[in-house]
């Protein structure tokens, strides 16, 4: 598997709960790795293999593109704020800070199940990942 992390300039990790019955494993992989056409990942607890179908792969590749775009406009984001109206005025939160503090979750249907894919970009520590 090729490491595409240098292409996005960020560490982006996806994880989700293993879909096998009676397995509580968590599947983790780099979002950049899905760019490989033969990408697959394995549950380290029950060894079930996961491959991405075209629809899921396309959605995750769009997330990869979004992260790449955010990295490309990072200098602009440094000047942007999110303004929240409060009783006595407004509070400005730097956009870049907001992006580092949000936990992004993508809920997708796989078969008859809804699966939550957690996306974490550039965590401060390995413990940030589940």
At 32-90, the pLDDT tens digits run 888 888 899 999 999 999 988 888 888 888 888 888 887 788 788 778 888 889 999 99
Residues written for the chain: 130
- The string of pLDDT tens digits covering residues 93-119 is 887 777 666 667 888 777 788 889 888
User: Which residues on adjacent β-strands are paired with residue 109?
Assistant: 114
Mean pLDDT for the chain?
80
What number of other Cβ atoms are within 10 A of residue 69's Cβ? Answer: 10
Please check whether residue 8 is in contact with residue 32, taking contact to mean a CB–CB distance below 8 angstroms: yes
Q: Which residues pair with 41 in a beta bridge?
A: 50
The predicted pLDDT at position 10 comes to: 57
What the block records as the tokens of 111 is: 């078969």
What does the pLDDT read at residue 7? 52
Q: The whole model's pTM is what?
A: 0.67
The answer for residues whose C-beta is within 8 angstroms of residue 59's C-beta and 6 or more apart is 106, 108
> Would the pLDDT of 29 be above 60?
yes
**Residue 84, beta-bridge partner list:** 91
């Amino acid at each position: 598997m090729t490491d595409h992390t240098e292409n996005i300039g960020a560490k982006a990790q996806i994880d989700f709960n293993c879909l096998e019955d009676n397995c509580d494993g968590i599947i983790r992989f780099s979002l950049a790795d899905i760019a490989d056409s033969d990408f697959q990942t394995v549950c380290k607890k029950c060894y079930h293999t996961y491959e991405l179908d075209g629809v899921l792969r396309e959605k995750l590749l769009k997330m990869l593109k979004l992260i790449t775009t955010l990295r490309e406009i990072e200098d602009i984001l440094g000047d942007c704020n999110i303004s929240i109206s409060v009783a006595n005025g407004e509070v400005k939160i730097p956009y870049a800070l907001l992006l580092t503090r949000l936990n992004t979750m993508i809920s997708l249907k796989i078969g008859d199940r809804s699966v939550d894919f957690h996306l974490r970009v550039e965590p401060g520590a390995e413990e940030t990942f589940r």
